[in-house]
Structure 1
Amino acid sequence: MDADLQALSQAAQLRLAARAGELLRAALSGADTYVWEWDIVADELAELEQGFKLLGYSQPPPSRGALVWDALVHPEDRSVKHRAYFRHARGDSSVYEATYRARAADGQWRWLHERGRIVERDVEGRPTRLVGIQTDVTERRQVEAAAAAAVSRLVNIAAHVPGMLFQFERRADGTARFPYVSERCEALLGVPSTALMADAAAMLRRIDFADRGPMMDSIQDSMRTMAPWQLKFRVHRRDHALRWIRGSATPRLGPDGSCIWHGYFEDATEALTIEQAQQERAAAEAANRAKTDFLSRMSHELRTPLNAVLGFAQLMEVDATQPLSDDQRRRVALIRESGEHLLAMINDLLDLTSIEAGRVTLAPEAVALDPLIEDCLAMVRAGAQRDDVSLLHAPLSGLAAHIDRKRLRQVLLNLLSNAIKYNRRGGQVRVGVEREADGGLRLQVADTGVGLSEAEVGQLFQPFNRLSQARSGIEGSGIGLAVTQALVQLMGGRIEVQSALGRGSTFTVVLPAGVEPAAA
């Protein structure tokens, strides 16, 4: 009776063991894994059917030797598999472990991972039995390959962007680190990426002392509000260069109370310099417009009372009912002459401000040049005779220009007046005009006066700058030539000057051919 019970108990245990084995195989199969055993002496692989089933085959071949399985292994991976086995067999490794490719039933290569151990050896220590598991890791390898490709792409992109990509973490205990910094770190901040990832404070030490406080405050504010972080700050690089850095990052709060920012640093030195220059230029333009508007308004306001002064002075000079004495007539003449000089200055100032404000409109027409020159010479002849200066002009009939008559007369009168005013007694003023090969015109006014130095020529057209003539006692405002140049440019031309001290000056108005001046 006891023997029967013992037999029944053993049978039950065997059934339980078989059931447990089935459950284990089922669980492993669900994980694309199976248990295998290799009888090395007999060269027989147990559970070979499971291995072929893992690869999608319905049945394995009749033979169960290791070569049957090796035939499925990728030729490039067989040596990897064999070397792993021999390392374990020699005792160089505690387990046998290899990852290789095997041909599946659909013709595709599947990645398999084997791990096993020699469980029996003969009396001479030769392996006789190897037991292990095999798992299909194809999907895991694909995920790993995709992740590696993504990392490779990120590294390549980060190496070519002008700035620096980074991850910055602020832990709950207040300590900080850079988990990731791209290769551009050293070029941008002067700190190697490895040094920055090892010590986050290495960056803080490079930041200008005045910007460290705002940097720490901005990080704290971004962590508190979870708002994107943005800041411009200065960095002292190892080459002693001071550079402006613009940073931006997006925060993400961790479950442990830490915060990590993913962001980008870029060198903003040139951009900020350009931005500052634009702001300064805009401010200068605004100030210039305000100045132009002020001068224009003041000139108009001054001209009205000045015309009244001139009018009364002229009336006093011609009043027959109350004639002036010789002294009074001389004094009134001085009032009138000074007023006329001031009025001329105001008119020049009005012209300059009108040009700068774009309020001058041109009326181009066909203008015969010789008659215009003769008219201008007639207007300045009295002054030339008074100063003992000869006016010379050799007319060339037929030369004409499509130009604004009034503005060209204004230009020529100003050049003639200066040529007479700054000449010497017994000197000459020569006026000429010629056609160039391209059809353009060159109108020249040459004098034999005091001349100018090279430095003075470079400052000649600056408003209110009379150069050395400011000390000569000759009346002038320093505005006339600025107006002259502006009018010539407005008519599509340019003005050139050749001068030498003691030998006189030549002013040339060059008007291009085929270019009609546009209204300003």
Structure 2
Amino acid sequence: MLTPAEPDLVSPQSSLDIADTQDRSAQEALRESEKRMALALSGSATGVWDRNVTTGEIHYSSGWKAILGYAEHELSNRIDDSYERLHPDDRAYVKSTIQAHFDQQTESYEVEHRIRCKDGSYKWICSRGKVVSRDSEGRPLRMVGTTTDISAMRAMSDKLQHTVDLMTSLTDEVPGLVFQYRLMPDATSFFSYASAGIRDIYELTPEQVATHTEAINALIHPEDLAAYRSSFDLSAANLTPWHCEYRVQLPRQGLRWRQGDAKPRQLEDGSTLWHGFITDVTERKRIEAELQEFATVDYLTQLPNRRHFMMQIEAELALIQRTGDRCAAVLMCDLDHFKTINDRWGHAVGDQALKHFATILSDQLGETDLAGRVGGEEFAVVLSGADIAEATAFARQMQQRIEETPLLAGDQRIPLTVSVGVAAMHANDDSAHSSLSRSDLALYRAKKNGRNRIECH
């Protein structure tokens, strides 16, 4: 009869061997883990601390002590001593932050502050910790955390901040607005940077344009707003430099001229970023206007000078030649006996006579008519759309006005009359000089036939 096989039995000694092997493996793994942790903490300039809140003791790892330059045995475990190592300017802040965590106002404790090293210097550190046990009433019992040396990072941060402060100071001192402007793909726009000069250029603050540009658009002169916007659109479309001269109407400064210049750059999100400068060019515009006036206007009579009048009359001839159905009349006017006026009453009275006639002439002109001083006492007129008969009527009315509005020098009446030659401007004229020559011939006849007359060519 066969008996069943007996199961294999493991002796108690064998079970102990297995347990011992597993324990040694676990201990070795733990030591390896602790070694890795120690290497990680050492490599990151981080130390560990463990605080007994009840007894007022705090224990530091050797790595923590090494951060401050202390050996293993050189630091006490009293929490009061640790507070003495804090920079005086940071002590109250650190204590209040710890207390806030003790009072469960924060999930954890984290603070950056300065701490005194063994050699008396100060380092910047970042301490992080958390209460890990409390009593039944919520009072903290134990707090564990880490401390990391962040001196190098703070030094770099301070250097960067110094650079930023320097650049900000430089841009703020520049007369005008240094800016960074961004146009998003959805057409929204804002100034991601605006120097202090925005207060003078737009009478706004950087904060008012940091998210939108409506405040600036509201200040731009309505006649210039479309051109201002399209200049940015064109610059963005072609990535060409932005340049624009435009007017702004400011609450305090009134009407002013601005000039903007910037270079665009396309960003990965499809937006366009400009770096540029806006300056006040009001004075330059004023000078340009004055120079333009000096170049085109006769100072004494405030009528166009000969050069500018000839440009205007050439434009009128070109319009007649282009349309083919327009007409115009040209009048040459000469003050009679002007030399006698100068000789008898002086050049000051002669100047008054010229201004007096120019005023009468200007008052008669229509919106499309032209007039200019083309010589000493000679004036030319172009009546747009007028024929010879209408031009003759204009000349008669002008003579009548001179008679009805005498020139007075003190209590003396200065005799003033005008001779006029009239001619038509033709589409087949080679230049404006042709019609002027014809009216000049007619003027010569008027002078020859007794003055204060009107003759037609």
* Same-fold call, TM cutoff 0.5: yes
Structure 1 residue 134, shift from structure 2 partner: 0.9
- Report the counterpart of residue 4 of structure 1 in structure 2: 17
Query: CA contact under 8 A between 2:50 and 2:60: conserved in structure 1?
Result: yes
Deviations 1:114-146 (A, max 9, x none): 110011234554422211111122233233333
| 1:68 to 1:9, Cα distance in 2 relative to 1, 3 A | farther
Are 1:256 and 2:200 counterparts? no
Q: Do the aligned residues in 2 keep the contact of 1:459 with 1:465 (CA within 8 Å)?
A: no
1:8-407 alignment to 2 at 5 Å? Answer: 8-41=21-54, 43-61=56-74, 63-123=76-136, 125-238=138-251, 241-282=254-295
The question of whether the paired residues in 2 share the 8 Å contact of 1:159 and 1:184 is answered with yes
Please, what TM-score do these two structures have when normalized by structure 2?
0.59
Alignment-mate amino acid for residue 43 of structure 2: G
Cα deviation for residue 201 of structure 1 reads 2.7
User: What is the aligned-residue RMSD (CA, Å)?
Assistant: 3.9
Shift of residue 284 of structure 1?
6.8
Match of 1:471 among 381, 398, 415: 415
User: Gaps spanning 5+ residues in structure 2: where?
Assistant: 1-13, 299-303, 309-336, 356-374, 379-406, 418-457
Contact preservation (8 Å) 1:25, 1:34: no
Secondary structure in 2 matching 1:173: coil
Aligned length: 319
Aligned to 1:36, the other structure's residue is in SS state: strand
Matching residue of 2:428: none
2:27 alignment partner AA: L
Q: Distance in 2 between matches of 1:61 and 1:74?
A: 20
Change (3 A) 1:42 1:21: farther
Pair 185,452 (structure 1): closer, same or farther in 2 beyond 3 Å: same
Question: Could you tell me how far 1:239 is from its partner in structure 2?
Answer: 5.3
Q: Structure 2 vs 1, CA of residues 472 and 274 (structure 1 numbering), >3 Å: closer, same or farther?
A: closer
Counterpart code for 1:29: S
Q: 1:11 to 1:57 in 2, by over 3 A?
A: same
Q: 1:464 to 1:176 in 2, by over 3 A?
A: closer
* Structure 1 residue matching 2:88: 3-state secondary structure: coil
Q: CA offset at residue 23 of structure 1?
A: 1.2
How many Å separate the matches in 2 of 1:5 and 1:47?
37
Contact 1:250 1:261 in 2 (8 A): yes
Cα pair 1:170 1:260 within 8 Å, conserved: yes
Structure 1 regions of 5+ residues with no counterpart? 292-344, 349-417, 423-449, 474-520
- Whichever residue aligns with residue 82 of structure 1, its letter is K
Kindly indicate whether the alpha-carbon contact (under 8 Å) linking 2:181 and 2:193 is maintained by their aligned counterparts in 1.
Answer: yes
Residue aligned with 1:207, SS: coil
Q: Secondary structure at the match of 1:50?
A: helix
Q: Distance in 1 between matches of 2:248 and 2:146?
A: 57
Shift in Å, 1:47: 3.6
* CA deviation after TM superposition for structure 1 residue 159, in Å: 4.4
Partners in 1 of 2:142 and 2:416 — Cα distance?
119
Separation of aligned partners in 2, 1:104 and 1:282: 77
Distance 2:75 2:153 in 1: 32
The one-letter code matched in structure 2 to 1:54 is I
Residues 216 and 125 (structure 1 numbering): CA distance in 2 closer, same or farther, change over 3 Å?
closer
Structure 1 CA distance for aligned equivalents of residues 196 and 307 of structure 2: 51
Partners of 1:257 and 1:451 in 2: how far apart? 76
Match in the other structure for 1:369:
none
The C-alpha deviation readout for 1:407-447, integer Å capped at 9, x for no partner, is xxxxxxxxxxx9xx97xxxxxxxxxxxxxxxxxxxxxxxxx
* Aligned-pair CA distance for 1:230: 1.4
Query: What pairs up with 1:471-490 in 2 under 5 angstroms?
Result: 471=415
8 A contact 1:163–1:264 mirrored in 2: yes
The percent of aligned pairs where both chains have the same amino acid is 27
Residue-by-residue CA offset, 1:207-247 (whole Å, 9 max, x unaligned): 23332332233222322333321111122223593321101
Query: Are the aligned partners of 2:48 and 2:61 in contact in 1 as well (CA < 8 Å)?
Result: no
TM-score, normalization: structure 1?
Answer: 0.53
Please give the alpha-carbon distance, in whole angstroms, between the structure 2 residues aligned to 1:89 and 1:249. Answer: 54
Q: Distance in 1 between matches of 2:223 and 2:416?
A: 54
Question: What secondary structure sits across from 1:63 in the alignment?
Answer: coil
> Is the 2:45–2:63 Cα contact (8 Å) retained in structure 1?
no
> 2:371 matched to which residue of 1?
none
Q: Deviations over 1:81-112 (max 9, x none)?
A: 22222221122222222222112345431111
Distance 2:80 2:111 in 1: 17
Structure showing greater radius of gyration is 1
Deviation at 1:37, TM superposition (A): 1.7
Within 1, Cα distance between the matches of 2:136 and 2:45? Answer: 36
Contact preservation (8 Å) 1:165, 1:265: yes
Q: Partner letter of residue 196 of structure 1?
A: V
Residue 237 to residue 34, structure 1, CA distance change in 2 (3 Å):
same
The code of the aligned residue for 1:10 comes to: D
- In 1, the alpha carbon distance for the partners of 2:277 and 2:112 equals 39
SS in 2 for 1:134: strand
Instruction: For 2:277, give the aligned amino acid.
Output: Y
